[in-house]
A and B are shown apart, each in its own frame.
Chain A
Amino acid sequence: MRRAMIVMAATVAGLVGVLTFRTTPARLTLGALPGASVTRTTPPAAVAGAPPPPSSTTTTGAPPAPGPTTTTTPAPTTTAAPTTSRTATGASVNYNWGVMSVSATVTGTRITKVFIASLDDGGNSRSQSIDQQSIPILEQQALQAQSANIQGVSGASYTSAGFAQSLQSALGKLNVK
């Protein structure tokens, strides 16, 4: 357990790095049709030390709930979107190396931050290296997915499933889809 806590700290540090690394939405080239030759270009390296998100009011999310979670959207209302930032923690989700939960911060309906709230892999050394590598990546994916206006992500990463599920649970608590 002590080792797991160390991993968590390292992971959170990694997330902070990612968050300052990319503060603009990912760019996707629309309209690139099949049949065209495609060259993926590399934009200039992100500017280090980009400004942090606006200061936020953080409300503590409900404690992680075990088991399946269903969120039902209430009827749409016409109230103005709130502009304060809110944070919630998603359900604790089993992934193949342990249990993790993800927190999300939203401003209005826009996700501004995604981070690991808890991670317990029982000190498994293999999972530690994978988690340290993959979790900052997953956080970045979540922010990218939002900018791409998509309803899901397909990939061959087992860890990402747990991450995505807990994240979606967190967003459900914040009424953000």
Chain B
Amino acid sequence: MHLVHHLEEVMGTVVTIDVYAHAAAPSVEITPLVDRACLLLHQADDVFSTWKPDSPMSRLRRGEITCAQAPPEVAEVLELCATARDLSGGWFDPWALPGGVDPTGFVKGWAAQRALDVLVSPLVTGAIVNAAGDIAGFGGPGGSRPFRFGIVDPTAPGDLICVVEPPAALATSGTYERGAHLFDPRSGRPMARVASASVTGPDLGLADALATAVAVAGGDGLGVVEAVDGFEAMTVDFDGSMHWTPGFPMAAIGEAAPSAGGQGHDGSRSALPGSPGPNR
């Protein structure tokens, strides 16, 4: 049963925590877990915020402290970012951003995943941490059902383009997101080659980084993600057509909405790996 629904304002947004537990589970046993999860989110924000001038990450970026003088999570995250950069074929690169190294594109997912991990308990059948559309979860809403999540159609944002049942994590990046935060490390300029990119996998930090990479890389990105064990990707082109890796956990495809224009969309599975995409 759905035992706890919690909203936490943190990291410049609102994070939702949902806990599903056995019917007999007392909420007093669950509440401390949620508190602990929230604490981790705030700690991550305090350490990594590039908006807070006194955060260790901001001070590191200004050269006021070294990595060794920063809290240990900083080195941990930067190491994970380096791994993500390598796995993404260089399409995700926090070191190529203007203004110095900025792990923000990794930290939100990483922090949500860490927060989720503390919700694991024998009383809990499933839990979700949803950080503004980047979702980490384990278990399910009850019975043997998995969690299902909708993905917004970037070409008709009033609609869901599909429903997925990810193994653990689901992240989406796209150009309709606020601000031009998608940055092409190869050209050194803001750039995206698809309208949106979604990545599923066992870890939200890496899924978040890979979603950013695929949004920038376009069709090439699907092959990149396909090569990463346990991760799958789906892109939506600017014309609304969809491509996804063979293992993408698609549960349902949405029909085009009767929106203005009323144009139908033709989607097709991409012929992976490394097939040419229409936006290359």
Contacts and interface: CB of A to CB of B under 8 A. Distances in A.
Interface string B238-260: 00101010111011111111100
Q: Is the interface of A mostly helix, strand, loop or mixed?
A: mixed
Interface in A73-87: 73, 75-76
Interface string A94-138: 111000000000000000000000000000000000100010111
A73 B151 CA distance: 27
B154 to A, nearest CB: 7
Interface stretch (B76-84, B219-227, B262-270): B262-270
Contacts of A30: 251-252
Interface stretch (B64-72, B93-101, B115-123, B171-179): B171-179
Given A144-B159, A151-B128, A153-B149, A27 B255 contact: yes
Contacts, number: 226
B159 A155 contact: no
Contacts of A136: 158
Nearest to B18: A151
Q: Is the interface of B mostly helix, strand, loop or mixed?
A: strand
A113 B164 CA distance: 25
Chain A interface size, as a band, is: 35 or more
Given A32-B250, A152-B149, A156-B177, A37 B264 contact: no
B266 A154 contact: no
Interface string A15-44: 000100110001111111111111111111
Interface residues of B, number: 74
Contact of A28 (B14, B254, B263): B254
A162 interface: yes
Contact of A43 (B12, B27, B31, B258): B258
Nearest to A69: B7
A148 B150 contact: yes
B90 interface: no
B177 A73 contact: no
A91 interface: yes
A137 B148 contact: no
A156 B154 contact: yes
A28 B147 CA distance: 17
Contact of A156 (B16, B196, B246): B196
B253 A40 contact: yes
A96 B159 contact: no
A159 B178 contact: yes
B267 A39 contact: yes
Given A39-B266, A148-B148, A68 B159 contact: no
- The 3 A-B residue pairs with the shortest CB-CB distance in the complex, in nearest-first order: A155-B152, A156-B174, A156-B177
Interface of A: 18, 21-22, 26-46, 67-73, 75-76, 91, 93-96, 130, 134, 136-138, 140-141, 144-145, 148-162, 164-165, 168-169, 172, 177
Given A34-B247, A177-B2, 10 more contacts: A28-B254, A39-B266, A71-B5, A93-B14, A96-B12, A145-B160, A150-B149, A155-B151, A160-B132, A160-B152
